[in-house]
A and B are shown apart, each in its own frame.
Chain A
Amino acid sequence: MNRYQQIKLAKQIGKWALIAVIMVYAIFPFYYAVITSLKPSSELFQVDYWLSSVDFGNYAQIFSQKSFVQAIGNSILVAISVVFIALLLGITASYALGRVRFRGRTTVMLVVLGVSMFPQVAVLSGLFEVIRTLNLYNSPGGLILSYTIFTLPFTVWVLTTFMRQLPMELEEAAIMDGATPWVTITKVFLPLMWPAMATTGLLAFIAAWNEFLFALTFTLTDSERTVPVAIALISGGSQHELPWGPIMAASVTVTVPLVILVMIFQRRIVSGLTAGAVKG
């Protein structure tokens, strides 16, 4: 082997070592959660890196709790509603912000961006008052409202950027064909914006699905809770026992749908995020 080949080999080894480190760093916690969830509670505190036997007891236990199943239902309802509302408002707003010339357009865009910079805690008390006033306390509506507030800025920005890249002549062609703005959006732009919508919709879904602070604050009863709160409130036989098995089982259960969604949409997400680089 000459010097050049040695350097090349060393570079290859270095590259794969780095990838291995990153993989372990990113995946190990999740892997350990999966393993823990599949252990019977008696083996819980033995440190194992491989699974010797599979035990679905923890899963059976959490699914036997009515409140957990309800929480999953609530999470699905809230997350899907947020995605739907955010995309609907996002598309229409992005048409206005991307295509219609009006005074103060930049200001509106900056305000939208500014809103998303506040930490959740900063608006918590104010939002609480709003939700009480609107009579949405302890209902999915309150969560949908508050999540939409935090999802919309991102949605609007991404969709506006995407909308601006669609050729102007396409819209004019639709106008010449007699299309109203609404028809132009739904019949011409929407089919072309699927990648961007899949990206923003999925990110909105994940945000709503995983959110904890608002979900904890704006709900009171088991029947209205979402999954993250329900997991946090899973309790053991006594005050001093943390039921790690069921908690891990619940965490894996709520993460799997996300992983599946991301895998389905991953090509779309990539093409959505790099939309500017590719010529339509």
Chain B
Amino acid sequence: MASVNLSKINKVFGSTHIIKDLDLEVGDGEFVVFVGPSGCGKSTLLRLIAGLESITNGDMHFANDLVNDLPPRERGVGMVFQSYALYPHMTVYENMAFGLKLAKTDKQSIEQRVMDTARILQLEELLHRKPKELSGGQRQRVAMGRAMAREPRILLFDEPLSNLDASLRVQMRNEIARLHHRLGSTMIYVTHDQVEAMTLADKIVVLRDGRIEQVGSPQTLYQQPATRFVAGFIGSPTMNFMPVQLLGAEAETCRVKAAGLGELPLPQDASGQPRGDELTLGVRPEHLALAEPRGDNRFEIVNVEYLGNEVYVYLEPKAGEALLIHRSEAPSQWQVGQEVALVPELEHVHLFDADDRALPLAKATAAA
């Protein structure tokens, strides 16, 4: 087990700058998830930590050791690959023992460790099978076993669940989470699926274009997204955004005007923003209430999705933006074609400036 410390890490491939001046601290025993859209550099960052790619410049420490130029085998990392990459000609036992054999571990300790790992992952029955005789979930567990058998300081996962079908994915996600509780080892996990990120992570790192967009616990990211990108990326269905105009900012509140909704008093500190500025208002589907239409506040329901426990209502926005979504518990009285008024819960509304940065809550600023 070890902490990971990245400071001013850069990675350049030819003329593409993939990772840009990245700083990150991963605590000992923490489960950190890198999440972001494809091409954001999350897999590259993981490969840099694994040692499969070399960093262009910057410093990388595991615990107190500088590992910049160490090959993977000397870093003490184990990695689970997206395609599992099990050795097809070896049995499950041999797959897990391979790394130990190369490390010249004596036969007895190899057996001991493989058996221990197999017990944790419930692979004991399968030790003499070849990978092609295993199901997807079993292969996944063998891949984890192989990574764990050498007792690495850090376990890396590169989108390990994306080859599994939906129900198995939920099951394996659960197993990985329990594994982390049980082993308490440092784990770094890459995914493009925000649900995996939210459910597994102690700490989520949202990446975009080679830079960290925000680091924080799942709650922080959900409740206080630092940027519009994070707000839109985390949460499903995605947050509603609409353009608003800043009318004025006072000590503890600001006033904005949104098409259809009229004037809204918000708890954000917008004192730094010029009056009349175009801002973006963000509100999560569950914080958007529907009511009888009144005056200008009239939105048409274009679709209703019934999911059993909850209902998504899609609304036609005022000006060429994406559809607005309202989410509530089932049953719901709303019908397609109905006109309704939108009532955002003002204490849960987010406000983003022209650069898409979230404006802080006035109370938080006052406290700070």
Asked whether A176 and B79 contact (CB < 8 A) given A183-B102, A192-B89, the answer is yes
Nearest Cβ on chain B to A229's Cβ, whole angstroms: 42
Q: Are A169 and B146 in contact (CB under 8 A)?
A: no
Whether A176 and B50, one on each chain, are in contact in the complex, defined by CB atoms closer than 8 angstroms, is yes
Does B83 lie within 8 Å of A176, measured CB to CB?
no
Once the chains bind, are A172 and B81 in contact (CB under 8 Å)? yes
Report chain B residues within 8 Å CB of A178: 72-73, 99, 102-103, 150
B24 cross-chain contacts in A, Cβ below 8 A? none
How many B residues have CB within 8 A of the partner chain? 23
Asked if B215 is at the interface (CB within 8 A of a chain A CB), the reply is no
| Contact among A172, A173, A176 with B87 in the assembled complex (CB-CB below 8 Å) | A173
Any A CB within 8 A of the CB of B88: yes
Contact of A280 with B147 in the complex, beta carbons under 8 Å: no
Question: Which residues of chain B from 87 to 146 have a CB within 8 Å of any chain A CB?
Answer: 87-89, 98-99, 102-103, 146
From known contacts A170-B87, A188-B87, infer whether A175 and B102 are also in contact, taking CB-CB under 8 Å.
no
**Nearest residue in B to A187 (C-beta to C-beta)?**
B98
A177 touches B99 (CB 8 A): yes
Q: Does the CB pair A173–B79 fall under 8 Å? A: yes
Whether the pair A169, B102 counts as a contact (CB closer than 8 A) is: no
Contact among A170, A173, A179 for B102, CB-based, below 8 A = A179
- B52 proximal to A (CB < 8 A): yes
Q: Give A171's nearest chain B residue, CB to CB.
A: B85
Chain A neighbourhood of B87, CB < 8 A: 170, 173-174, 188
Q: Nearest-CB distance from A191 to chain B (Å)?
A: 4
- Chain B residue at minimal CB-CB distance from A191: B89
Q: Mark A229-266, 1 if CB is under 8 A from B, else 0.
A: 00000000000000000000000000000000000000
Measured between alpha carbons, how far is A251 from B71 in the docked complex, in Å? 57
Q: Which of A169, A176, A187, A192 contacts B88 (CB 8 A)?
A: A192
Given known pairs A175-B52, A177-B102, the reply for A169 and B89 (CB within 8 Å) is: no
For A177, what are the chain B residues with a Cβ–Cβ distance below 8 Å?
A: 73, 98-99, 102, 146, 150
Q: Is B54 in contact with chain A by the CB < 8 A criterion? A: no
Residues of B within 8 A of A169 (CB): 81-83, 85
Assess whether B85 is in contact with A170, with CB atoms less than 8 Å apart. yes
Pairwise interchain contact B85-A175, C-beta atoms closer than 8 A? no
Q: Using Cβ atoms and an 8 Å threshold, which residues of chain B touch A176? A: 50, 52, 72-73, 77-79, 99, 147
Contact with B along A188-229 (1 / 0, CB 8 A): 100110000000000000000000000000000000000000
Q: Is the CB of A167 within 8 A of B85?
A: yes
In the assembled complex, the Cα of A183 lies from the Cα of B88 at a distance in Å of: 16
Contact B102 A167 (CB under 8 A): no
In whole angstroms, how far apart are the Cα atoms of A177 and B83 in the complex?
Answer: 16
Q: Which of chain B's residues have a CB closer than 8 A to the CB of A179?
A: 73, 98, 102
Alpha-carbon separation in the docked complex, A173 to B98 (Å): 10
How far, in angstroms, from A179 to B100 measured CA to CA in the complex? 11
Distance to closest chain A CB from B351 (angstroms): 44
Residue of A nearest to B99 (CB): A177
Q: In the complex the two chains form, what is the Cα distance from A203 to B245 in whole Å? A: 77
B151 to chain A, nearest CB (A): 13
Find A172's partner among B85, B99, B102, B146 (CB 8 Å cutoff).
B85
| Chain A to chain B contacts (Cβ below 8 Å), 27 pairs | A167-B83, A167-B85, A169-B81, A169-B85, A172-B81, A173-B79, A173-B86, A174-B87, A175-B52, A175-B71, A176-B52, A176-B73, A176-B99, A176-B147, A177-B73, A177-B98, A177-B99, A177-B102, A177-B150, A178-B72, A178-B99, A178-B102, A178-B103, A178-B150, A187-B98, A191-B89, A280-B88
5 tightest Cβ-Cβ pairs between the two chains A and B: A178-B73, A177-B99, A169-B85, A173-B85, A191-B89
B-contacting residues of A (Cβ < 8 Å)?
167, 169-170, 172-179, 183, 187-188, 191-192, 280
Further 16 A-B residue pairs, CB within 8 A, beyond A172-B85, A175-B72, A176-B147: A169-B83, A169-B85, A170-B85, A170-B87, A173-B87, A174-B98, A176-B50, A176-B72, A176-B99, A177-B73, A177-B150, A178-B99, A178-B102, A179-B98, A187-B98, A188-B87
